[in-house]
Amino acid sequence: MVEIDWAKEVEARKDDLFKDLFEVLSINSVKDMAHATEEFPVGPGAAKAMLKFLSLAERDGFRTKNLDNLVGYLEYGDADAEAFGLLGHMDVVPVDDKWHTDPFIPVIKDGKLYARGASDDKGPSMAAYYAVKIIKELGLPISKKIRFIVGTDEESGWSCMNHYLELEEMPKIGFSPDAEFPIINGEKAIIGVHTLFPTLKGVGDLKLESFKSGLALNMVPPTADAILTGAPASIEADFTLFLSKNGLTGQVTFDGDKAKLHLVGVGVHAMDPTLGKNSGTFLASFLNNYNFDASAANFLKVVSEYYHLVHHGEKLGVAFEHPVMGNVTTPANLFNYSAEGEKKVTLNVRFPAGTDVETIEKQMSKVLNPFDVKVEVEPGGNREPHYLSGEDPLVKTLLDVYEKHTGLKGFEESIGGGTYGRLLEHGVAFGALFQGRESTMHQPDEYMFVEDIIKAAIIYADAIYRLVK
């Protein structure tokens, strides 16, 4: 049998790969429910990016299907054959003003491709697409059909995949190019937990008019803002000292009798909140030093004492560690407090096998009950952990390919992130972040090394062909 030089095949198509990738990266595909319509259920941007991806597949001769602008797929091989699944997504998390380049004008600098979605998940998805394209163009014999499913709501709800499952059958085996190498064969369950605060009677020296922080549930908030009345003149100096001690930035501005505080933390992917600095909890911990009205005092006390720097639910009664899958994580990522309206903080809770939704809700309710805080688990989410044994043939094959092309030893790994790989009975996440590389997913100045996108395409082409030939 002739050995295929996958590196040569990818190199020959490198310019086309990046041309196509730049096109999808240039589309602002943040979920936009403010402009959602019956035609575009999660907004026009994400659908536009998905449709562009499908149009590239049509150009290259693949069968395609669009399921109501929520999810689509391309297909190659005998339509009646068993399906091998690839699952990627075209939606991206929101951006802030901390970028040094336009997040939707991709640019290559110092060997890095900067753009929102470069590493999560447009870059890896395009690498996987070109792997399938190579297999097709070489006319290689395959016994399974390849179905590449592309979603539009992976980052905040998975309505796309729920819709797919209503209309189509999910392949039983495959992978999602949406995490890291060498492999992710274990994923924690992921739920949103709302903590609803009461409105209480009672005044203080200060009144908290509003407190807002957070861009997305799966992202540790990078900035936080509060508006208060009755602030002492010393608050500006106090805040400056607090920021300096904690390695943060921000400022206080005054507008009549109102003081506006803005704090800049470090936003990161919620799967490992220890890597960031939660702006919401830091700002609450600062304000907790003052004598506020009763509602605000209750809110600030809970956030600063039970959420601040409490990454694994230690003070919420839900701490648990699995020997393979790791710890529960409980970052508070969405804050919405209004003196006259809603008072809510939503936690992004991720947990391994060994605990469950009911236990977490019960324990948090017990701990927060003295503060009249109501705990509600958000409907949906990935409510069960996913684990595929390291002895599974899929895992063994993917690790073998990884070792061949990197010269590094492969190993099993579990993460707090949730990928489409968990939707497959025999599914994993495979790449495309390489060992030793910084993860900038969900962060300003998101990037992926150009050479890593090429290397991922090589690995994907070899792996996919081994699994479908």
Q: What are the catalytic residues?
A: 91, 154
Distance CA 461, CA 142 (A): 13
116, 120, 121, 123 alpha-carbon torsion, rounded to 10°: 70
What is the rounded distance in angstroms from the CA atom of residue 358 to the CA atom of residue 365? 11
3-state secondary structure of 86: strand
d(CA 450, CA 112): 6
Q: Give 213's contacts (C-beta < 8 A, 6+ positions apart).
A: 221, 223, 224, 225, 279, 280, 283, 334, 335
Task: Give kind and range of the element (H or E) at residue 285.
Answer: helix 279-287
128 phi and psi angles, rounded to 5 deg: -70, -35
Which of 159, 157, 137 lies closest to 71, judged by CA?
Answer: 159
What gap in Å lies between CA 58 and CA 53, rounded to an integer?
Answer: 9
| Contact (CB, 8 A) for 343 and 199 | yes
